[in-house]
Amino acid sequence: MNQDQVKGRWKEIKGKVKEQWGKLTDDDLLEIEGNQDQLVGRVQQRYGVAKEDAEKQVRDFIGRC
């Protein structure tokens, strides 16, 4: 799934995002609005992981959607 597909399906996907990364707030999800780079940044910030780790987590997650 590419960036445009993620944005197009964001309302459907954000529930799964919340399940995967429970520390993300509803405000986070509103601000992210399907932007993968912002999702990576928020995962990195909330979970204290390296950027590469957050990118891999998001990439794997998007691949499963």
Tens place of pLDDT for every residue, the chain, 65 residues? Answer: 888 888 889 988 999 999 999 999 999 999 999 999 999 999 999 999 999 999 999 999 999 98
Q: Cα separation of 63 and 25, whole Å?
A: 22
pLDDT for the residue numbered 37? 95
Return the pLDDT at 55: 97
- Residue 38 to residue 18: CA distance in whole angstroms: 15
Full set of structural domains in the chain with CATH: 3-64 (1.10.1470.10)
**Radius of gyration for the chain, computed over Cα atoms and rounded to the nearest angstrom:** 10
